[in-house]
Every structure is written in structure tokens, then in C-alpha cells.
Structure 1
Amino acid sequence: MEITKIREVTPENVMEETLFCVKDITNPGFTCKRIWFEKRYKEGLRIKILKDDSGKMIGFIEYVPIEYAWRPVDADTFMFIHCMYVYSKKNRHKGYGSLLINEAEKDAQELGFAGVCTMTSKGAWIANKSLFEKNGFMEVDGKGRFELLSKKWDTTAPDPKLFDWTTQQKKYRGWHLLYADQCPWHEKSVEALLNVATDNGIELKLEKISTAEEAKRAPSGYGVFSLLHNGKLLEDHYISATRFRNILKKELLS
């Protein structure tokens, strides 16, 4: 393994360290995520970036006390991992992901939490569960394409569980897009989808999720992005304009 160092992003150094997923500080998505991050930092949210000895970014992890998690999860005294990613394929299977997970575990133990948990999936924009299982996590709940994994050192603590996000979907009649700044790429996707909707004479109603509680009660497993039409969830992660055009064709023909 190369010589590595872990840098914690703070409101004071975020312009220098950036946010890993988006490094261009002039990008509108960076600004949205930065503002969101600075508010969440006070709630205990942490972003840590793994770098090699030359300063090149290898991967990152974002985690938060589960009370303030922006996912449909329910538990007490757990740390929750929002995102964890090792960028380059050549850097995978070298133990870097485990180093990042260990950061969340270490902070959770220092704060007296019962354990750490996360959501995983084989689908897009979220980590696969295999790495977490290698680090001692166990699946404790699941719904649709998502699994909830937990690692706890307080065996008396109840396991975390998932909220049933499908119960929220029926109330969304017409076209709806719910999103949050937890992901810096949402801003670009929302603008693209709005333009496509306008071009096709579709009224796409936007709702920006502004609190963790709203995200927990969102109509999708990902929590921070939901595209719905007449009570049906069509996408649970950000998409391109081309993907939305294809969705429109299918929905309008059905």
C-alpha cells in the first residue's frame, strides 16, 4: 500500500480540500454542496478524503450521526455512512476502503455510539455491500434494491431499520422531482430535467428537501432524489436529460 494520509474537510478548509465528488469550486454544484455541508457540519457530519503521498485524491467517506442521516433509516446512537468511494479501479482492493470505514468506526466509538450502519445496493450511486461485509458489517434490513448493513459493538442496541418509503409515493400526482444538495450533481440534473420537461410541455413540480427528517420520509430509498409520475417512482438517483426523454416517451405511451 502506498503512503497515504486522511484529510478531514471542515468549513475552514473546504475551498482548499474541495468535496472530492466535485473539485471545481466555481461549479454551481460545489457551492450548493458546500453550503449544505457547512450547515450539516454542526450536526456532526464529516467528510474525510484519502490522499496519496503526492496529494492526489484516492477516495472519500461521508458520515453523520444517524439522527441527521439523509436516508430513510431509523435507529438510536449509530453513525451512518452516506457515501464511501475509491475513485480509480487501480486503487481498489488495496485496503483503502477499509481505511475510510475505520474512520467512521473510530469517531463513532469515541462518541459512545452503539455502532455504524450504511445502505448499500448493486444499483447506481451507492456502494456495494461486499466491502462492508469484509469489515464485519451484517445485513439487518432490506427493501427493493437496497440493503441496510450494521456493525455494532453494543450488542444490547436494537438493530437499525429502514422506513417504508413506498407509502409516501401515492400522494405525488402528476410529475414530481424531489432533491437535496447532499449530492453536488443534483443541481445540474435538475436543470437538465426541467429543460426537457419544458420542451415537452410537462409541468415538473420541484421540491427541494431541506432537512434530514424530510429526507427520511422521502418517497425513495436513496432519500435525496426522487422522480415520480402519478404515484410511481421512476428514478431514485440523478439522471441525464437523455434518460429523462426516454422515460417521458415510455410514460406518455403507457
Structure 2
Amino acid sequence: MNIISVDRNNIDKEHICCAISDKKGETCVSSKKVWMKSQFENGLVFKRLDARGKAFIEYIPAENAWCPIEAEGYIFINCFWVSGQFKGQGYANKLLEECTADAKAQNKKGLVILSSTKKMPFLSDPKYLKYKGFKVCDTAKPYYELLYLPFNGDAKEPKFKDCCKHASVNEKGMVLYYTNQCPHTDKYAPLIAEIAKSKGQSIKLIKMESKEQAQNAPAPFTTYSFFYDGMFVTNEIFSESKFLKFLTTTIKSGKISGDFV
């Protein structure tokens, strides 16, 4: 199966894999594509299988990554996703090989990617990455791992910035940091704010709209990081039902449930 590169010349007609497929998702898809268009000049690359489904890799020079890391000379993988129907057929390997070849052609030191101690929603699978040779170079609370694949033995290890290592913010109540790196956020961030309001609660939405903001974020996953009373809760985008569960189990009890960390 062929791999398609989505760039400034074809992005308006190409689908971007993780996009919401129904009509209600059109605004979300548009917001993601606007973000991508703004990042192509900074070296963003998006490659996907020539198929209707979720099988793609998105990467950018680490200096331009929307992630609070120090990884000069590396390529940062924003998102690497191969869904169930494409697993076990070598497509993940093929996409990673394309990224690796591109990075080597640019004389980069290696690849770096955000993952976790165990498989978590919206984060790349650490088991697969470690099988492919990626190693842990840094960690951040509560479960984040920064993984890297150096191309030579003397490459300096990337690391998280201190601002994102502690899973906390100096703000009370519900606070959501997010960006348009995912097509879902522009739909679900305002949605949970409306739900909170309907329940007599409030949530502070902080949308990061520049790499400088993202590179100084309080959590490694800048696409979506939700905090409550100063503590990190989840990087998983809240659906309506999950947010309602959070309101009833956490706000009511005053304690963060194990379901949300």
C-alpha cells in the first residue's frame, strides 16, 4: 500500500486520518488543517497510508515541536497512530522507516517521541517503540516517558523542560490546556465548558496558539491536559459522558479518582 504525504499543495483535498467523519466534525477537521498549514513552513511532515482509516505519522524538527522538551538536532514525532484494522501488516514499520530515512537525510541526531509507562489514550505505544530500539531518556509525572532513537552513540539525550515535569499548576478549580494539534479539541473543549456551566461549575480554557506557549506548558502533552485544583487529571480528551462522570465522582467527593490518572 502506498504512503501519501499531505502538504500545503494537497491538504485541502486530502483527509487527515484522525479526523471526525460526521458533519459535526467538519469544524474540528478545519481547525486541525489550519494548524497544519501554519506549521508546514516549520518543517511539519504528515504521512499516511493511501487508505481510509487511521494509519499515519506526523513529525517536525524538535526545535519547532509543540512540546516542552530540549532536543536540539532531533526530529520530534507529534503523532504516530496505526489503528486495529492496519496492525500486524507492517504498516507501522513502513511509516517509521519513512520518518527515519527523512531524519537521516536531514542529518538529524535521531528521533524523539512522547510516550508513557504503559499504553495510554492518545499516546504512542511504548512497547512497540521500545521493540524498535527507542530508549527512555527522561520522565515526567505522572506517567510520561520521553523516548529517543539516536542515530549515533554520542548523541545528546533529549529531556523534558522542568516546567512540565511535576503534573501541577498554581490554579484552583478545573483548568484545561489544549491546542489544535488534534481535530477533536476544538469540539470537546467548549463542550465540557458548557456542560460544567449547566451543572453550576466553571472551567478555565487555556488554548495555546504558538509553539512558544506550548514549549513552556505545564504538561508534556500539549494537545490536551486537564487539571483540577492544581493537580493533573488526564491527557485523554473528555467525551460528554466521561466528563459528567468526572463531575460526579471527583467534584462531588473532592478527590481525584483513580479512573482519571
- TM-score w.r.t. length of structure 2: 0.88
The amino acid across from 1:113 in the alignment is K
Q: Which residue of 2 aligns with 1:128?
A: 125
What is the root-mean-square deviation in Å for CA atoms of aligned residues?
1.9
Asked whether the 8 Å contact 2:20–2:28 carries over to 1, the reply is no
C-alpha displacement of 1:175 = 2.3
Whether 1:16 aligns to 2:13 is yes
Please give the secondary structure, in 1, of the residue aligned with 2:75. strand
| Unmatched runs of 5 consecutive residues or more in structure 2 | 255-261
Unaligned runs of 5+ in 1: none
Query: How far apart in 2 are the matches of 1:56 and 1:124?
Result: 21
Is 1:221–1:236's contact at 8 Å kept on the other side of the alignment? no
**SS of the residue aligned with 2:124?**
coil
Tell me by how many angstroms 1:135 deviates: 2.1
- For residue 32 of structure 2, give the secondary structure of its aligned residue in structure 1: helix
Distance verdict in 2 for CA 1:42–1:24, change over 3 Å: farther
Greater Cα shift, 73-82 or 221-230: 221-230
Q: Secondary structure at the match of 2:9?
A: coil
The alpha-carbon deviation at position 97 of structure 1 amounts to 0.5
1:185 paired with 2:184, answer yes
Distance 2:228 2:147 in 1: 30
Instruction: Determine the structure 2 residue equivalent to 1:76.
Output: 72
For the 8 Å contact 2:57–2:96, the answer to whether it is kept is yes
Percentage of matched positions with identical amino acids: 26
**Is the contact made by 1:170 and 1:231 (CA closer than 8 Å) also made in structure 2?**
yes
Q: Are the aligned partners of 2:56 and 2:80 in contact in 1 as well (CA < 8 Å)?
A: yes
**Inter-CA distance 168–215: structure 2 relative to 1 (3 Å threshold):** farther
For 1:137, which of 131, 134, 138 is the aligned residue?
A: 134
Would the aligned equivalents of 2:11 and 2:33 in 1 still touch at CA under 8 Å?
yes
* Contact 2:139 2:165 (C-alpha < 8 Å) held by counterparts: no
Q: Is the Cα–Cα contact under 8 Å of residues 22 and 184 in structure 1 kept in the other structure?
A: yes
Find the counterpart in structure 2 of residue 115 from structure 1: 110
Match of 2:98 in 1: 103
Q: CA deviation at 1:183?
A: 0.6
In structure 2, distance between residues paired with 1:30 and 1:58: 14
| Shift in Å, 1:230 | 2.1
Instruction: Confirm whether residue 42 of structure 1 aligns to residue 37 of structure 2.
Output: no
Given the superposition, is the C-alpha separation of residues 28 and 132 from structure 1 closer, same or farther in structure 2, using an over 3 Å criterion? Answer: same
Q: Alignment partner for residue 6 of structure 1, among 3, 6, 12?
A: 3
